[in-house]
């Protein structure tokens, strides 16, 4: 038996490994983009973009990109698993699924 820790579970398909690998690489790049010496390249006040210093715009862009990547992975995983019921928007095994509370 192999006791080495694994980076990804062995039950993933090749496509899933690529997606999760790309997301992991993206967040490693984000980590280094927010540290010195990379952040120092963008830490100036000028130019002013939408009334904000450029260093703040740099942080907001990275934060928005991180959000969009996580949102993309979330929706991709939902499609891959079949997603919730089409009926009332809740999963079949969600809260209230067995007792019928809140059903139409």
pLDDT in tens, 32-65: 999 999 888 988 888 998 999 999 999 999 999 9
Q: pLDDT at position 3, please?
A: 65
Residue with the two structure tokens 């949102």 = 71
In a domain, 30, yes or no: yes
Give me the percent of the chain exceeding a pLDDT of 70.
71
Please indicate, yes or no, if residue 54 is contained in any of the structural domains.
Answer: yes
- Residues 4-20: what's their mean pLDDT? 80
Task: Note whether 54 and 45 are within 8 A (CB).
Answer: yes
Residue 86 belongs to some domain of the structure: no
For CA atoms 79, 80, 82, 88, the dihedral sign is: negative
The pTM (predicted TM-score) of the whole model is 0.68
For residue 1, tell me if it sits in a domain: no
- Give the pLDDT score at 62: 97
* Assigned domain for 95 exists: no
Q: Report the domain count for the chain.
A: 1
Q: Within a domain: residue 101?
A: no
Answer whether residue 99 shows pLDDT above 60: no
Contact residues for 15 (Cβ-Cβ < 8 A; gap 6+)? none
* Within-domain flag for 103: no
Q: Is the pLDDT of residue 31 over 70?
A: yes
Host domain of residue 61: 14-80
- Is 70 domain-assigned? yes
């Amino acid at each position: 038996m192999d006791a080495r820790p694994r980076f990804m579970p062995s039950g993933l398909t090749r496509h899933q490994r690529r997606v999760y690998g790309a997301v992991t690489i993206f967040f490693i790049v984000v980590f280094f983009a927010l540290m010195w010496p990379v952040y120092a390249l963008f830490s100036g006040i000028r130019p002013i973009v939408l009334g904000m210093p450029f260093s703040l715009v740099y942080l907001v862009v990275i934060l928005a990109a991180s959000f969009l990547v996580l949102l993309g992975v979330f929706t991709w995983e939902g499609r891959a698993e079949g997603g919730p019921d089409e009926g009332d928007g809740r999963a079949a095994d969600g809260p209230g699924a067995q007792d019928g509370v809140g059903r139409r």
